[in-house]
Amino acid sequence: MKDRRRTGGGRAWARGSSASSSWFALVAFLCCPLFATVAFSTFRIFGVSFRPVLLPTWQTSVINAVATDHSFLRRESISATATIAAKRGSNNSFSIRIQEAISFPDQVLLFLQFSSSLPRLDLVCLYSPPSNPTTSSSSPVADLRLPAIIPSFPTSFIRCPLAPRGFSISLSPDLPLLKPRPWDHLTYAALLDPHNNSTVVFAKGFNLRPARLSDHSRYECVFGWNFAKPKYLLTSPALTAAQEIIRCNTPPSVLLRFRSQSEPNPPLVSVKTKGRGAITLPSVARPETLRLSSRKNRHTMCVCTMMRNQARFLPEWIIYHSRIGVERWFIYDNDSDDDIEQVIESLRMSNYVVSRHLWPWVKTQEAGFAHCALRARGYCEWVGFIDVDEFLYLPTNFTLHDVLQNYSSMPWIGELRTTCYSFGPSGRKTTPSEGVMVGYTCRLGAPERHKSIVRPEVLNPSLINVVHHFHLKEGMKYVNMEKGLIVINHYKYQVWEVFKEKFYRRVATYVADWQNEENVGSKDRAPGLGTKAVEPSDWSSRFCEVNDTGLRDWVSMAFIDPQTGLLPWQKRRNLI
């Protein structure tokens, strides 16, 4: 019996040993491909390839699911962290993650998160159609490859050519494909206002009416690092809501992180509607901290502008306004692809204080001006909001500082509204080499609208503006400036070669693009031109009712070099 027991125990052990061996062999067989994959990935990471390589640890993107309670806002795929070998004579590499893809009318922006500054690599945009069965997998098959454009200015996004409708996009076969989100349903920027510990959020998608307050009780702000985990999100009620701007209280824990300055990765913030059918907008916005206002060492006069592909006009505009008293310029670059960086750097080298802020968002001029007003508040007493074809002109012997100091002594005055005169081509058919102030001297007789110089510290908390002026705090007043004291020469109708660029796209939110059959009779359009960019035969002689050489004469006297006969912006153009 004992022998049988021993024998049976041996057989049992043998059966167990045989089963264990089989399981071990099966596990070893399954692990071999995994080991080979990791080894191959490691080889590629430290090799010479520039192609992004998938790391073994996957991370959920912060922006993949902004509102988990709404299925149509969820991302079906997740963003992976990949490593790009940036070998430039070394084996250095950096990790990269695609956070979001935003589709614009003419391009796609990919918002990235990376471990260091983005090197100048030849990245490729990969596109896959909706019928591609690998769209939601980690190894997408690209049906189309186009080169990516990396902005020379440090930024968190790169540009890809516009994807065909329904296509998804990535940067590498080792990264998931993302279906681009629309540009007009998005939280796109945010500022932390230290004056009242609020967060100002800029968002498209709620279609709030222009120039008036909306019901702020319908909205709240959402803060978090991972919107896919709602229990870790913070919400805060809205204080004001108007146009594309929502202001909310900043949660104390978020304030503490900013004040400690130990958090290099600020949270995302978005806007959510309240009540039944609540919607949370997708977001690429992380709050920037503003500088506290101080009356010490402030510039008396600054200028904010928004521009696209107008770098060639900047030297004349900045040099002239510097001469009459402007001390700092805030340039909001609306996705230029000309030589704006080189032009601004050249101006900085000549000690002009010019800052460039990338602002790729479509039809957001009012929001951009509000954003600029908040940024300028910490540096400037007065801020003018004018375009690069608009020039302040003082026909008398008074200087700009004389005018501003006069109203600085009146604390109830918050805005100076300045009349605009619109100049035409003045008989020219080619761009004047001497610049717009000397080249165009014939204008319409009646003024068209006005532009404003404001005290940014007295703007209404809602930041409502309609491009031409802002709403002010309760009790603050505006002044209509006398035309004999200060006006704006608006070189609006230049030679056709320049003017036709206005048909590309208008930057103002509530103004129809000129090629659209909408508000055709508006003053924002050229009278009688219609919606087609076709040059009228008499264009060069249009918009000419008054011969006005006042500014031309002053500029010729104050700026022309007697030895060369050139204006300073002509010399600079020859050097760039």
How does residue 528 score in pLDDT terms, banded at 50, 70 and 90? low
Rounded to whole angstroms, the Cα distance separating 494 from 28 reads 76
For residue 478, what are the β-bridge partners?
415
| Interval 356-382 mean pLDDT | 94
Spatial separation of the C-alpha atoms in residues 373 and 139, rounded to whole Å: 45
Q: Take residue 385 and report the two structure tokens written for it.
A: 């909001």
- Residue 463 — very low, low, confident or very high, per pLDDT cuts 50/70/90? very high
Q: Which of 269, 226, 264 is nearest to 78 (CA)?
A: 226
| CA–CA separation, 279 and 55 (whole Å) | 34
295: left (phi over 0), alpha (psi -120 to 50) or beta: alpha
Asked whether the beta carbons of 372 and 349 are under 8 A apart, the reply is no
- Exposed / middle / buried, residue 206 (Cβ in 10 Å: 0-12, 13-18, 19+): middle
**Contact assessment for residue 443 and residue 422, using Cβ atoms and an 8 Å cutoff:** yes
> Is it the case that residue 74 has pLDDT exceeding 80?
no
Mean pLDDT of the chain: 80
Q: Which pLDDT value is given to residue 517?
A: 56
Single out the residue of 417, 434, 436, 416 nearest to residue 426, CA to CA.
436
Q: Is the pLDDT of residue 260 over 70?
A: yes
Cα distances from 469 to residues 229, 276, 455, 474, 481, in angstroms, run: 41, 36, 12, 15, 13
Q: What is the mean pLDDT of residues 102-123?
A: 77
- 229 φ/ψ angles, rounded to the nearest 5 degrees: -120, 85
pLDDT in tens, 146-192: 888 887 666 778 899 988 888 999 988 878 889 999 999 999 999 99
- In order, the DSSP letters of 19-53 are HHHHHHHHHHHHHHHHHHHHHHHHHHHTSS--S-E
What is the average pLDDT across 132-156? 67
100-104, 260-264, 304-308: least confident range: 260-264
Q: State the pTM of this model.
A: 0.81
pLDDT band of residue 234 (cuts 50, 70, 90) is very high
The amino acid at residue 246 is I
- pLDDT above 60 (res 10): no
Mean pLDDT of 459-467: 92
Q: What is the pLDDT of residue 96?
A: 78
- Please give the Cα distance from 67 to 230 (Å, whole number): 8
Pair of tokens at residue 382: 């007065």
Q: Tokens at residue 283, please? A: 């977001």
Q: What is the pLDDT of residue 137?
A: 45
* Of 257, 332, 283, the residue nearest 99 (C-alpha): 283
Q: Which residues 6+ apart lie within 8 Å of 320 measured at CB?
A: 391, 437, 555, 559
- Pairing state of beta strands 450-454 and 413-422? antiparallel
